[in-house]
Amino acid sequence: MIADLPLLIEPEDLQNLLEEESLVVLDLCKETTYSQLHIPGAVHLSYGLVVTGNHPVNGLLPEPRHLEQVFSAHGIGNQTHVVAYDDEGGGNASRLLWTLEAMGHRHYSLLNGGLHAWTNEGHPCSREKATPAAATFSAIPTTQPVASTEYILQQLNNSDFTLWDARSSSEFSGMSRFSQHPGHIPGAINLDWLAVMDRQRNLRLKPNDQLNKQLSSLGLTKDKEIITYCQTHHRSSLTWFVLHYLGYPRCKGYPGSWSDWGNRDDTPKVMS
């Protein structure tokens, strides 16, 4: 097995590791994009395979048995190091990494900047479909990175608990609505997931010092437990990754997110 890689890996560092047998690079772009260009040897994984739904709730966590089959079929074993990327800012890739974490697998990295950084900075690309290596994945599910609706309801009045709403300001305020009820969870702090990206550096995450300052100024501090959510826990998977990467000791993602909370009549909502 290769030495432990950082949670956030740069394109130039990944390029030097592409021949490593214990490494699997997963492409979570659209299949049409993958067929046109992708990182050499990268295995395509459709985002829909790592989420499920129960209308009107979307973005739920699939059953472990299903995920075992998906991960095994895409070349992931329990000792495999996964590097994930996409072409839309990291939401798809981070959702995969959060799902791996929920299944007890912690050997993973996010490609900083994804396909944008890789291609715009001149790294090699391929159109050849990669065949996954044979692998067997055994899940060890854990609730450590996962927040349920019931868990959030229990914690709402705790002083060391807060929520990061990664949706747009119009969704947060209730001006835009994609569920039965508009608004946000009481006490939630709004910071659009786009605010953690550096558009001048090919959609990489902003530098650590900027992110830490940005979060601390809003009250998203390391002494608190922080739950991240959006509409389905797609955008907020990236914000969960940011917290995890920055060393926040207690951070969870909320599968279903506002598509769950906002479609229930027994959950409190705030309009602003």
Summarised one tens digit per residue, pLDDT across range 158-181 is 999 999 999 999 999 999 999 999
Q: With pLDDT > 70 as the criterion, what percentage of the chain qualifies?
A: 99
Q: Is residue 269 part of a domain?
A: no
Q: Is the peptide bond before 56 cis (omega within 30 degrees of 0)?
A: yes
Answer yes or no: do 113 and 153 share one domain.
no
- Average pLDDT on 128-155 reads 97
Whether residue 67 is contained in a domain is answered as yes
Two tokens, residue 144:
């450590």
Using 50, 70 and 90 to split pLDDT, how confident is the model at 3?
Answer: low
Percent of the chain with pLDDT over 90: 97
Mean pLDDT estimate for the chain: 97
pLDDT average, residue stretch 178-201: 97
How far is residue 233's CA from residue 58's CA, in Å, rounded to a whole number? 9
Q: CA 219 to CA 33: how far, in whole Å?
A: 39
**Of 29, 125, 230, 251, which residue is the catalytic one?**
230
Give residue 252's domain range. 149-261
Q: Do 102 and 57 belong to one domain? A: yes
Residues 108, 163, single domain; the answer is no
pLDDT above 80: residue 79? yes
Angstrom distances, CA of residue 80 to CA of 34, 77, 127, 134, 268: 22, 5, 24, 11, 42
Summarised one tens digit per residue, pLDDT across range 110-126 is 999 999 999 999 999 99
- Within a 10 A sphere around the Cβ of 74, how many other Cβ atoms? 22
In-domain check, residue 134: no
Decide if pLDDT at 85 tops 70.
Answer: yes
In this predicted model, what pLDDT tens digit does every residue of 228-259 receive, in sequence order?
Answer: 999 999 999 999 999 999 999 999 999 999 99
Q: Is 251 known to be catalytic?
A: no
Asked if residue 80 and residue 172 are part of one domain, the reply reads no
Q: Which domain-ending residue is among 71, 105, 120?
A: 120
Q: What is the CATH number of the domain that holds 156?
A: 3.40.250.10
pLDDT at 4 over 90: no
Q: 190: pLDDT confidence band, cut at 50, 70 and 90?
A: very high
Same domain for 114 and 213, yes or no, is no
pLDDT recorded at residue 132: 96
Residue 272 falls inside a structural domain: no
Residue 223 domain flag: yes
The pLDDT value given to residue 1: 53
Residue 137 pLDDT > 70: yes
CA angle (189 as vertex; 230, 170 as ends), nearest 5: 60
Q: Which residues contact 4 (CB under 8 A, 6 or more apart)?
A: 107
- Does residue 251 share a domain with residue 160? yes
| Same-domain pairing of 192 and 249 | yes
> Among 81, 101, 120, which residue terminates a domain?
120
According to the model, what pLDDT value does residue 203 have? 96
Amino acid, single-letter form, for residue 21: E
Q: Are residues 113 and 72 in the same domain?
A: yes
- Cα–Cα distance measured from residue 83 to residue 78, given in angstroms and rounded to the nearest whole number: 14
Whether residue 172 lies inside any domain: the answer is yes
For the chain, give the longest Cα–Cα distance. 53
Residue 21 and residue 112 share a domain: yes
Q: Among 120, 141, 168, identify where a domain stops.
A: 120
* CB neighbour list of residue 60: distance below 8 Å, 6 or more residues apart: 51, 52, 53, 54, 255, 256
Amino acid at 124: P
Same-domain pairing of 68 and 166: no
Question: 1 lies in a domain?
Answer: no
The four Cα atoms 114, 111, 28, 58 give a dihedral, to 10 degrees, of: -100
| Cα 255 → chain centroid | 11
Question: Residues 233, 238, 244, CA angle at the centre, nearest 5°?
Answer: 110
Phi, psi of 137 (to 5 degrees): -110, 130
What is the pLDDT averaged over residues 32-46?
Answer: 98
Of the candidates 133, 161, 147, the residue with the CA atom closest to the CA atom of residue 61: 147
Q: Are 259 and 58 in contact (CB under 8 A)?
A: yes
Residue 136 lies in a domain: no
- Contact criterion met (CB below 8 Å) for 172 and 184: yes
Indicate if 37 and 100 belong to the same structural domain.
yes
Q: Are residues 154 and 241 in the same domain?
A: yes
Res. 215: pLDDT tops 90: yes
When divided into structural domains, the chain yields a total of 2
